[in-house]
Homo-oligomer: A and B are copies of this chain.
Amino acid sequence: MAAQNEPRTEPRIPLSRERVLRAAVDVADEGGIESLTMRRLAEVLGAEAMSLYYHVANKDKVLDGIVDVIAEEINDVVDRIDVPSKGADWKKAMRQRILSARAVLLRHPWAPGVLPSRATTSPAIVQYFDALVGLMRDGGFSYDLAHHALHALGSRALGFTQELFDPGDGTGDQDPAALESMADRLPHLVGMLAEVAHDDPDSTLGWCDDQTEFEFGLDLILDGLDRMRETV
C-alpha cells in the first residue's frame, strides 16, 4: 500500500545480547518455553533468525542466559531482605529468602523446568547459594552440615519442587463403575481423596505445587536442620 521506501515508524533499535535475552524471557513467559524458538525470538525483535547468532552463540546459550536473568531477578529481591540471621534467627531469614525466590519463579512458570539443566552454569544462582550458606553459617552450621542442607533442600532452596504426582488428579470425570474399580486397585488413594478436601485448585507452579504444601515441606526440612544445628 505505502511507498516502498516508507520511513520507518520506529528507528529500529540495534540488537544486543541483553535485548535478545530479555525478549526470550518475554516469549517464554507468554507462550511457554516450547514457544521459544530462534525464529519466533527473531520475529519478536523485528529481525531475522540468523541475526541472533551474531549476539548469542546458539540456542543453548540463550537458555543459559534467560536462567541467569531470572536468577538475577531473584538476587535483586532477596538482597533487599535485611533481617537478623544470627543463631536461632537463621531459620526465619532462610525461610523468607526462599519464599521470596518462589514469588519470582511464580512469575516465570517455565523456569522450574529449565533451571535444573542449567543452574550450575548461572553465576547468579551460584551467588544465591553462597548467600544461603552464609545464613546457615550465621546460624552456627558447620560447613559440612550446610553442605548436606543444600542437598536436602535441592530445588526447594530456590522456591520450587518437582511434584511427580498430583494426588488430586484423575477423579474428576469418572462414572460410578470406573470409580468403584478404582477403589479396588487404589484403596488408599481413594480413601485419602475422600477425606482430604482437595478443593483448593489454585495450582501455582504447575505440578500441583501449591503454596501451603510447599511451606509444609520447607518447614519440615528447616526444622529438621535446626535440630541438627547445635549438635553437629
Contact = CB atoms under 8 A, between A and B. Distances in A.
Contact of A216 (B151, B166, B186): B151
Contact of A148 (B169, B187, B188, B216): B216
Report the contact-size class of chain A (Cβ under 8 Å from the partner).
35 or more
A164 interface: yes
Interface stretch (A19-27, A40-48, A219-227): A219-227
A125 interface: yes
Question: Main SS of the interface on chain A?
Answer: helix
Interface stretch (A77-85, A89-97, A112-120): A112-120
Nearest to A150: B167
A7 to B, nearest CB: 47
Nearest to A119: B164
- Count the copies: 2
Contacts of A224: 220-221, 223-224
Given A119-B164, A126-B165, A154-B163, 10 more contacts: A119-B165, A120-B170, A130-B187, A137-B188, A143-B192, A148-B217, A151-B208, A152-B216, A220-B220, A224-B224
24 contacts: A116-B162, A116-B163, A119-B164, A120-B170, A126-B165, A131-B188, A133-B188, A143-B196, A144-B196, A147-B167, A151-B208, A151-B213, A151-B214, A151-B216, A152-B217, A153-B217, A154-B161, A154-B163, A154-B217, A155-B164, A158-B164, A220-B224, A220-B225, A224-B224
